[in-house]
Amino acid sequence: MKLAVISHTPHYKKNGVIKGWGPTVREINHLTELFSDIYHIAPLHIEEAPQSSMSYESDKIKFIPLKPYGGRKLSDKFSIITTAPNNLKVIKSILDMVDWVQFRAPTAMGLYLLPYLSLRSKPNRWVKYAGNWNMKNPPLSYSFQKWWLNSNFQKSKVTVNGQWEGQKKHVLNFQNPCLDNEELLRAKIITEEKNFNERLIFCFVGTLTKNKGVDVILEALKKINHPEDIQEVLMVGGGSQREKYELMAKEINLKITFTGLLNRDELENIYEVSHLIILPSESEGFPKVIAEASAYGCVPIVSDVSSIGQYYNDINGILLKKINPDELAQKIDRAVQDRINLKKMSLECVKVAELFTFEYYMKNLKEKILSE
């Protein structure tokens, strides 16, 4: 079988080598187990590839470039319309060649691509909705795409993060894969040996923005009662506001290290040395970094948004009911003062990571989508 994947995943070209955002590329690398040929149709950016990018591992995968679109300025947003004719032409040429298509939503391109795909009788299709399916006040474009998919105008299965009351039969709960069985086994050994009796290392992994909770983290660290129990806070990620956050961090009586963007091996080293991961973001689907960190026994302190609370509770993590510095500071203080319970949580959160392997994902794809 041949597959087309349509996404807004940014790609870059250097010395003739195409690289894309690491988590998506890893997932598509694994899809070669199920498909003979894969065409990844996504935007190609003319700029330096970040450290978090990686190249494809198989010649079964062919990258098909789209014109990039979107941005902060009004003219950038208008580019969604101006690039549509070219991008539709490219997409159509590939869809005529394949047996299946996976569209990855939500993205601005979905405003015209979802209706277009629904008008086609072929190829077979499913939609991967990576955002928060149960978001209370989504952007207008996200709201339209959810309504369209929920109403099943798409005539296809839709995979989402989580399971909610009244969820329609064609909307399936699919865990977003982020590690393989070999990585999981290695991570479990690290978890079992992780010592919670020493000074603790915290990490944050994500874009350095207010929406991801970086402001909340830094303000909370000013308020904690036991800074002597924390060895270091590792802030992993990039973003235009990094310099601002580095200045804020200098006012805090803690060692706070901004690592920038890291490749996969470097990120695993962060999880290996860290005891807890903090992610007080305002809106998520299910961040892969939580499952990745859990595999290494990093106890999550995370927002209770979207489906996160369906996987974590008082036994295997710490949920933030309110996303503010006072709430986070209290949770941090409580955690560092109960090391025995932290170790128990560490061993329990590994069990969640078992649901997020590529092997488990492939099994679900075969049984719930491709076989029907």
The mean per-residue pLDDT over the stretch 265-284 comes to 93
Q: Are 211 and 318 in contact (CB under 8 A)?
A: no
In the predicted model, what is the mean pLDDT of the chain? 94
Q: What is the dihedral of CA 226, 302, 363, 171, to 10 degrees?
A: 170
Distance CA 263, CA 217 (A): 23
User: How large a percentage of the chain has pLDDT more than 90?
Assistant: 87
Binned at pLDDT 50, 70 and 90, residue 283 comes out as confident
How confident is the model at residue 137, as a pLDDT?
86
The answer to whether residues 295 and 361 belong to one domain is no
Same domain as 81, residue 14: yes
The answer on 313 and 201 residing in a single domain is yes
Do 297 and 256 lie in one domain? The reply is yes
Two tokens at 314?
């008082």
Domain match, 197 and 326 both? yes
Q: Which two tokens stand for residue 37?
A: 């040929």
> Stretch 280-295: mean pLDDT, rounded?
89
65-85 tens-digit pLDDT: 999 987 777 666 788 899 999
CATH no. for residue 164? 3.40.50
pLDDT greater than 80 at residue 100: yes
Asked if residue 189 and residue 81 are part of one domain, the reply reads no
Q: Are residues 138 and 281 located together in one domain of the fold?
A: no
pLDDT value of position 15: 81
Report whether 95 contacts 4 (CB < 8 A).
Answer: yes
Torsion over CA: 77, 79, 83, 85 (sign): positive
203-245 tens-digit pLDDT: 999 999 999 999 999 999 999 999 999 999 999 999 999 999 9
Which of 279-288, 292-301, 361-370 comes out lowest in average pLDDT?
Answer: 279-288
pLDDT value at residue 76: 67
Pair (341, 366) in one structural domain: no
Output 6 or 52, whichever has higher pLDDT: 6
- Residue 162, pLDDT above cutoff 80: yes
pLDDT of 284 higher than 90 = no
Rg (the chain; Cα; Å): 21
Q: Identify whether residues 69 and 144 lie together within a single domain.
A: yes
CA distance 349 to 300: 8
pLDDT score at 74: 67
Evaluated on CA atoms 103, 105, 109, 115, the torsion sign reads: positive
CB atoms within 10 A of CB 98: 20
Q: How many other β-carbons are positioned within 10 Å of the β-carbon of residue 179?
A: 24
Does position 273 have pLDDT exceeding 90, yes or no? yes
For 153-219, the DSSP string reads TT-SEEEESS--TT--TTEEE-----B-HHHHHHHHHHHHH--SSS-EEEEEES--STTTTHHHHHH
187 and 232 part of one domain: yes
Same domain, 133 and 63: yes
User: Which residue range forms the structural domain that includes residue 295?
Assistant: 181-354
How many other β-carbons are positioned within 10 Å of the β-carbon of residue 315? 11
Looking at the fold, whether 349 and 364 belong to one and the same domain comes out as: no
Query: What CATH number has the domain bearing residue 198?
Result: 3.40.50.2000
Question: Does residue 259 contact residue 205 with C-beta atoms inside 8 Å?
Answer: no
Q: Burial code of 31-60, b = ≥16 C-beta within 10 A, e = fewer?
A: bbeebebbbbbbbbeeeebbbbbbebeeeb
Q: What is the DSSP string of 275-329?
A: SEEEE--S--S--HHHHHHHHTT-EEEEE--TTGGGT--TTT-EEESS-SHHHHH
Report the candidate in 94, 3, 80, 73 with the shortest Cα–Cα distance to residue 43.
80
What's the rounded mean pLDDT across residues 9-22?
92
Q: What is the structure's pLDDT at 136? A: 84
Residue 349 is classified by DSSP as H
For residues 134-141, average pLDDT = 88
User: For 277-288, what is the mean pLDDT?
Assistant: 87
Q: 301 with 277: CB under 8 angstroms?
A: yes
Note the pLDDT of residue 55: 95
Separation CA 287–CA 302 (nearest Å): 10
What's the start-to-end Cα distance of the chain, in Å?
A: 14
Asked if pLDDT for residue 102 goes beyond 80, the answer is yes
More confident residue, 164 or 72: 164
Percent of the chain scoring above 70 in pLDDT = 98
Q: Is the pLDDT of residue 24 over 90?
A: yes
Q: Look up residue 95 and give its amino acid.
A: L
Residue 331 has pLDDT above 90, yes or no: yes
pLDDT for residue 16 is more than 90: no
Q: Please tell me the total count of domains within the chain.
A: 2
Rounded to an integer, what distance in angstroms lies between the CA atom of residue 141 and that of residue 111? 7
Model pTM score? 0.91
Q: Say if residue 123 is preceded by a cis peptide, omega within 30 of 0.
A: yes
